[in-house]
């Protein structure tokens, strides 16, 4: 049985979580996947096969197995099935381009069967399913479990898709991914879509720079290059979406989702997405910090049971970058990346979340839309102030590791930063890095860039505070550039293991935070002895605490003179390794057992760890998924 998640409807999302209740429809059919108590359902023990990570040939496997059976009330559209089948609603075709994508309807299933050669074809989903009858595209694996492969390299596009996107002129978006999910009409949002059990690869080639995009054949027969940000799956204007059990490799971006502002309308917002059990590796571009393995914008996301191997060697990209409100990130494995997780300011839909921008944009809407918009904004603003990251494994290893594992706050606009709390609990982080490659490693990095007038003439100081002023009307204060209002990063019941990568070499130095103004609360964590011994970084005045300097104009007095990390006295330390480096499981007799602190009451019971993942030795892409029966052991695994 596939791991599942709480039902996160876009509306009412965070209210339900805070009240520890289940939303209407929880545990129902279709794309609703949660239990009545908001828990997830997995087998007590399941080893899910992985992949060797080869390029363009064969087929891989993802952490969550997919049962690609037709269960909807619509058509059973079979691509490449070697067995001849007949019956009501069965349509057998030989190629992906033969699928009538433009007429898919609720309850239709497109089943793509594995074959030895990749499918060099691409497709678009432009119609909607329903909650009870989603549109589903899934892969039927080989007898040995290999996924069907969709290669972007010279992939062809169904000619009928030209009429689907005729209203868009020459920009069909086909150049932006192997699979495109967006409505046929410009202002149309598609809903209730599932894509699972496929391998996406090949929109770029070595040496994996911006100019190394592969070509594809568009709907009109024209050969064109992929966009510099081409993805395995590109999503624009969608809701109630499941992306499960896929493999993404050798793509500029594995999964790319973008939402747009209130000015465009609610239909431009991506909501309620489950990203589950996928295998990401070798994505992003060399020497480019704008391309990531997964880049996500929108409201209401659950990211769970995914295996993030390292991005392409030489990349400056992240494993997971989220400009979102209302996210739960749990039971994943993350390896390297410029940041393993980058949780920063919303960018393209500020007015749907931030009060100061919303106050202006709502006046531009028709009166009939304003009440609903106000409700959605209030819910999104609440959701934006809490992020839950738990039960994950992190491995920063070798020369491809980067210093900061978690970036939380903002990277563009201090006015739009996350204003609340990152709850980071029951995770296990293993750092195997040499000082020669990385002088200093850390876990948290908050607010890294500042611009006093990010919004130009619309950012105006009124009584010493920045206000949004448009057309002569003052729409109220923005978030201020004051460190005492920065987000709080709470580390609770985690395990941090520090060691060198090369035997006999000194390991990297360590610090909890990057900037002196970063607000970090340590609450009963394990960390390797010596975390507070500084050997290399002579600029640091306090060992183990970051003292990066912020401009005096944007932080409260003293923020550049002292760190803002509390709770070091609660740390548990030890020199011996407390976990098995092959699986990340705690070692018997070690210091992690019966040491956990009770989770704070502001973490809903539905977001307490109920499951755990461990690595399968020698098998990249595989995760062992089990139920977690207690919360007494520090780290991601009991």
Q: Give the predicted TM-score (pTM) of the model.
A: 0.91
Task: Indicate if the pLDDT at residue 313 is higher than 80.
Answer: yes
Confidence class of residue 18 from pLDDT cuts 50, 70 and 90? very low
- Give the list of residues 6+ apart from residue 232 with CB closer than 8 angstroms, or none: 150, 152, 177, 178, 179, 200, 201, 203, 246, 248, 251, 253, 254, 255
Average pLDDT, the chain: 87
pLDDT value at 539 more than 70: no
Backbone angles phi, psi at 34, to 5 degrees: -100, 165
What lies within 8 Å, CB to CB, of 636 at 6+ separation is 331, 390, 391, 392, 393, 426, 427, 428, 495, 584, 609, 612, 613
User: Which residues are within 8 A (CB) of 540 and not within 5 positions of it... i.e. 6 or more apart?
Assistant: 511, 534, 546, 547
Element (H, E) at 431: strand 428-432
Local confidence band at 449 (pLDDT 50, 70, 90 cut-offs): low
Residue 399 above 90 pLDDT? yes
| Ranges 168-177, 329-338, 533-542: which has the least confidence | 533-542
Average pLDDT over residues 179-198: 93
Indicate the SS3 state at residue 421: strand
- Which token pair is 79? 């691509």
pLDDT tens by residue, 544-595: 999 888 777 677 777 778 899 999 999 999 999 999 999 999 999 999 999 9
Q: pLDDT category, 623, cuts 50, 70, 90?
A: very high
Selection from 212, 117, 110 nearest residue 155 by Cα:
117
pLDDT bin (cut points 50, 70, 90) of residue 23 is very low
At 414 the pLDDT is: 83
- Whole-angstrom Cα distance, residue 464 to residue 501? 50
Q: How confident is the model at residue 74 (pLDDT cuts 50, 70, 90)?
A: very high
pLDDT at residue 167 is higher than 60 = no
Q: What is the DSSP string of 88-117?
A: TTEEEESSGGGS-GGG--TT-EEEEEP-SS
Label residue 412 by pLDDT band (50, 70, 90).
confident
At residue 457, the pLDDT reads 79
Model confidence at 538, pLDDT cuts 50, 70, 90, reads: low
Give the residue from 136, 150, 156 showing the smallest Cα distance to 199. 150
CA dihedral 521, 408, 438, 560 (to 10 degrees): -60
**In which band, very low, low, confident or very high, does the pLDDT at 41 lie, cut at 50, 70 and 90?**
very low
Mean pLDDT to the nearest integer, 250-257? 98
Check pLDDT > 90 for residue 444.
Answer: yes
pLDDT given at position 235: 97
Q: In this structure, how many other beta carbons lie within 10 angstroms of the beta carbon of residue 31? A: 25
Calculate the dihedral angle through the C-alpha atoms of 543, 546, 552, 556, rounding to the nearest 10 degrees. -90
What is the rounded distance in angstroms from the CA atom of residue 217 to the CA atom of residue 23?
44
If DSSP states are collapsed to H, E and C, what string results for 143-166?
CCCCCCEEECCCCEECCCHHHHCH
Instruction: Tell me the β-bridge partners of 497.
Output: 430
Reading the block at residue 303, the tokens are 């990211």
The band of 451, judged by pLDDT with boundaries at 50, 70 and 90, is low
**pLDDT for 304:** 98
349 phi and psi angles, rounded to 5 deg: -140, 45
Q: Strand, helix or coil at 277? A: coil
The per-residue pLDDT for range 370-394, each reduced to its tens digit, is: 999 999 999 999 999 999 999 999 9
- pLDDT tier at 44, thresholds 50, 70, 90: very low
**Closest-CA residue to 208 (of 122, 117, 118, 316):** 316
Q: Using 50, 70 and 90 to split pLDDT, how confident is the model at 479?
A: confident
Task: Tell me how many degrees the CA angle 297-299-304 measures, rounded to the nearest 5.
Answer: 80
Give the Cα separation of 473 and 461 in Å (integer): 13
Q: Is 298 left (phi over 0), alpha (psi -120 to 50) or beta?
A: left
């Amino acid at each position: 049985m596939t791991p599942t998640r709480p039902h996160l409807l876009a509306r009412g999302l965070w209210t339900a979580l805070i009240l520890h209740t289940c939303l209407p429809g929880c545990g129902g059919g279709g794309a609703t996947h949660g239990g009545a108590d908001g828990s997830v359902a997995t087998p007590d023990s399941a080893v899910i096969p992985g992949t060797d990570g080869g390029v363009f040939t064969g087929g891989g496997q993802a952490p969550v197995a997919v049962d690609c059976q037709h269960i909807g009330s619509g058509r059973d559209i079979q691509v490449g099935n070697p067995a001849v089948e007949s019956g009501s609603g069965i349509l057998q075709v030989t190629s992906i381009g033969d699928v009538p994508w433009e007429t898919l309807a609720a309850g239709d299933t497109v089943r793509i069967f594995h074959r030895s050669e990749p499918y060099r074809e691409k497709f678009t989903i432009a119609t909607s399913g329903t909650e009870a009858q989603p549109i589903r595209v899934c892969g039927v694996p080989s007898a040995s479990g290999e996924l069907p492969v969709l290669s972007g390299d010279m992939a062809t596009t169904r000619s009928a898709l030209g009429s689907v996107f005729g209203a868009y002129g020459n920009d069909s978006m086909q150049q932006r991914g192997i699979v495109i999910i967006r409505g046929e009409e410009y202002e149309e949002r598609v809903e209730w879509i599932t894509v699972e059990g496929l391998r996406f690869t090949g929109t770029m080639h070595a040496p994996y720079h911006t100019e190394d995009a592969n070509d594809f054949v568009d709907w009109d027969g024209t050969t064109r290059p992929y966009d510099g940000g081409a993805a395995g799956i590109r999503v624009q204007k969608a809701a109630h979406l499941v992306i499960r059990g896929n493999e993404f490799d050798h793509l500029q971006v594995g999964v790319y989702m973008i939402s747009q502002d209130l000015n465009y309308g609610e239909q431009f917002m991506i909501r309620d997405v489950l990203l589950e059990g996928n295998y990401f590796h070798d994505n992003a571009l060399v020497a480019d910090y704008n391309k990531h393995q997964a880049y996500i914008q929108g409201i209401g996301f659950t990211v769970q049971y995914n295996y993030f191997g390292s991005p392409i060697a030489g990349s400056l990209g992240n494993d997971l970058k989220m400009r979102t409100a209302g996210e739960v990130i749990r039971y994943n494995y993350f390896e390297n990346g410029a940041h393993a997780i980058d949780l920063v300011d919303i960018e393209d839909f500020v007015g749907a979340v931030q009060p100061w921008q919303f106050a202006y944009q709502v006046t531009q809407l028709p009166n009939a839309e304003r009440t609903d918009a106000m409700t959605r904004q209030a819910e999104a603003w609440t959701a934006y102030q809490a992020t839950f990251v738990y039960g994950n494994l992190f491995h920063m290893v070798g020369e491809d590791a980067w210093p900061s594992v978690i970036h939380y706050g903002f990277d563009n606009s201090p006015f739009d930063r996350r204003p609340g709390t990152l709850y980071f609990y029951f995770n296990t982080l293993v750092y195997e890095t040499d000082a020669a490659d990385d002088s200093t490693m850390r876990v948290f990095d908050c607010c890294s860039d500042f611009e006093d007038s990010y919004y130009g003439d619309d950012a105006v100081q009124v009584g010493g505070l920045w206000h949004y002023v448009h057309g002569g009307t003052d729409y109220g204060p923005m978030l201020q550039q004051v460190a005492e209002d920065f987000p709080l990063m709470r580390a609770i019941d985690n395990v941090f293991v520090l060691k060198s990568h090369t035997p006999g070499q000194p390991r990297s130095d360590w610090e909890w935070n990057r900037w002196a103004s970063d607000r970090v609360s340590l609450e009963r964590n394990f960390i390797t002895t010596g975390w507070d011994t500084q050997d290399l970084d002579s600029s640091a005045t306090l060992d183990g605490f970051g003292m990066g300097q912020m401009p005096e104009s944007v932080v409260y007095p003293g923020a550049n003179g002292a760190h803002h990390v509390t709770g070091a006295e609660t740390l548990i330390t030890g020199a011996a390794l407390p976990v098995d480096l092959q699986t990340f499981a705690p070692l018997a007799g070690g210091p992690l057992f019966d040491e956990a602190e009770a989770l704070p009451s502001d973490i809903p019971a539905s977001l307490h760890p109920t499951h755990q993942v461990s690595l399968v030795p020698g098998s990249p892409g595989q995760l062992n998924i089990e139920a977690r029966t207690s919360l007494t052991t520090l780290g991601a695994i009991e």
